[in-house]
Amino acid sequence: AGKPRIVVLGAGYAGILTTRRLQNLLSSDEAEIVLVNKHNYHYLTTWLHEVAAGTGDDDRITIQIKDVIDTDRVHLIKDTVLEVQKEEHRVILSHGEALIYDYLVVALGFEPATFGIPGIMKHALTIRSMNSARKIRHKIEALFADFADSNDEQEKLTFIVGGAGFTGIEFAAELAERIPVLCEQYAVDPRRVQVLNVEAAPGILAGFDPDLADYSKQSLERLGVEFRLSTRIKSVDPQGVTLLTEAGEERIESATVIWTGGVQGNSVVCGSAFEAQRGRIPAGEDLRIPGYDNVFVLGDCSAFLDKGTGRPYPPTAQLAILQSDVCAQNIVTLLRGGQELKTFVPFMKGAVASLGAHDAVGKVFGIKVRGTMAMIMKAIIDIRYMLMLGSPKLIFGKGKLSTYVMP
């Protein structure tokens, strides 16, 4: 028999770091490593809101996989995973031949959760990948171009951001900052453009420190975002959106909805190949899928239980990054015949969110940060990640810092 084959599905935070760590830990005699990803680039999902609003540059958040992975050591397959056939230990790809694995790492990330709300997938836009973010940017520009031709003075250009979690807040801030620029470019009266953030809960950023949520709300209001709290998106259709408020239903015609109402695991593997709970595959303490000794699941398509709260950890890049380390070590242990796998014990550092180009907010190691301090923290988070990807060169070319040093 040949060398054992490790197949990693997805080159997001979880997949690319697991691959890098395996590449460094294993000699080429020990195993063949295969990385499958839809594109030949890795993107920084944590900055997609800027691409979507058109305030950030695509190039600053994409990294060619070959620049951070040794493609002589790792076999990179640019293809789309269609199915995992777990009993046969193989992966079905869109173009290539079926891929047999000895060890599998499932790291295919997230997709929007729609909670069955009619019309979301068809008529709303979602931030889920580089291409979906670009699509939002193009749509916004096209809407401005059309609106500039409209002669109806009563008509408004309305953007509805559906959901005030971190994604909705970060995106709404960027959009609000882009609007004056677009109004200037397309000669549109700014008073005729509105950004509404619609949130089902009574407050924004549920679960985040209330002081910091208030700070974020005020920061966005200064940028011109209007909040509609305790208001739920009921349905989206080609003519507009129906909201459900405490007073009853409300209709907003010709509004464009950008849905940021939540995420779930990639449906390629969740539910079809492996048993999912609320759209995610439960991961065991060693990050394997219980019942499948050679299959690991990481990042946004997994659910890892927080024993403190009794609920899974929220899906974050931070968690995906931490998991990649333990996953790689556990695969090495299994390959070398060991039995004692490491238990994943996450040490979460906090969260930092951008509020447009000039403000940010966060809580790091229990300390609240706002404004410049929070912006610095966000740049440091990027720098640490670039270093993990093993390329100090990237620091000035990619991520947030690059926008400060190379405007």
Task: Give the interface with ligand NAD as residue ranges (CB under 6 A).
Answer: 115, 117, 162-168, 170, 198-201, 206, 232-233, 260-263, 314-316, 351-353
Parallel, antiparallel or unpaired: strands 103-106 and 99-100: unpaired
Amino acid in the structure at residue 52? A
Closest CA to 46 of 133, 137, 162, 121: 133
Helical H segments across 4-151, by residue range? 13-25, 48-53, 58-61, 120-123, 130-148
Q: From residue 148, how far is each of 126, 176, 179, 238, 309 by CA, in Å?
A: 25, 18, 13, 20, 51
By residue count, the chain amounts to: 407
- What region, left, alpha or beta, does residue 126 occupy, with left being phi > 0 and alpha being psi -120 to 50 degrees? beta
Q: Compute the distance between CA of residue 399 and CA of residue 350 in angstroms, rounded to an integer.
A: 19
- Alpha helices by DSSP H, listed for 96-209, are 120-123, 130-148, 166-186
63 or 113: CB nearest ligand NAD:
113
**Which H or E run includes 362?**
strand 360-364
Residue 339: φ, ψ to 5°? -115, -30
Nearer to ligand FAD, 14 or 183 (CB): 14
CB of 317 to ligand NAD, least distance (A): 8
Nearer to ligand NAD, 235 or 329 (CB): 235
Which of ligand NAD, ligand FAD, none lies near 14, with the C-beta cut-off 5 to 8 A by kind? ligand FAD
Give me the catalytic one of 50, 111, 170, 199. Answer: 170
Identify which of residues 267 and 316 has a Cβ nearer to ligand NAD in the complex. Answer: 316
- Nearer to ligand FAD by Cβ, of 4 and 314: the residue is 314
CB of 269 to ligand FAD, least distance (A): 8
* CA separation for the pair 157, 195 (Å, rounded): 9
Provide the minimum distance between the beta carbon of 148 and ligand FAD in the complex, in angstroms, as a whole number: 28
Which residue, 63 or 335, has its beta carbon nearer to ligand FAD? Answer: 63
55 binds, among ligand FAD, ligand NAD, none (CB under 5 to 8 A by kind): none
Helix (H) or strand (E) holding 382: helix 371-388
Which positions touch ligand FAD (CB under 6 A)?
10-15, 36-39, 45-46, 48-49, 80-81, 107-110, 127, 129, 167, 170, 266, 268, 299-300, 315-318, 320
Compute the radius of gyration of the chain from its Cα atoms: 22
Q: Which does 233 bind (CB under 5 to 8 A by kind): ligand FAD, ligand NAD, none?
A: ligand NAD
Q: Cβ of residue 316: shortest distance to ligand NAD, in angstroms?
A: 5
Least Å distance, CB 378 to ligand NAD, is 8
Least distance (Å) from ligand FAD to the CB of residue 68? 13
Pick one of ligand FAD, ligand NAD, none as the site partner of residue 45 (Cβ within 5 to 8 A by kind): ligand FAD
Q: Give the nearer residue to ligand NAD in terms of CB position, either 258 or 263.
A: 263
Active site residue 170: yes
For 143, 156, 217, 220, the CA distances from 223, given in Å and listed in that order, are 20, 18, 10, 5
State the residue number with the nearest CB to ligand NAD: 165
Q: Which of ligand NAD, ligand FAD, none lies near 333, with the C-beta cut-off 5 to 8 A by kind?
A: none
Helix axes of 317-335 and 371-388: crossing angle, nearest 10 degrees: 20
Chain residue at closest Cβ approach to ligand FAD: 12
Q: How far is the CB of 243 from ligand FAD (least distance, A)?
A: 23
| CA dist., res. 77 & res. 51, Å (int) | 26
236 binds, among ligand FAD, ligand NAD, none (CB under 5 to 8 A by kind): none
Which of ligand FAD, ligand NAD, none sits in contact with 168, Cβ below 5 to 8 A by type?
Answer: ligand NAD
Active-site amino acid positions: 170
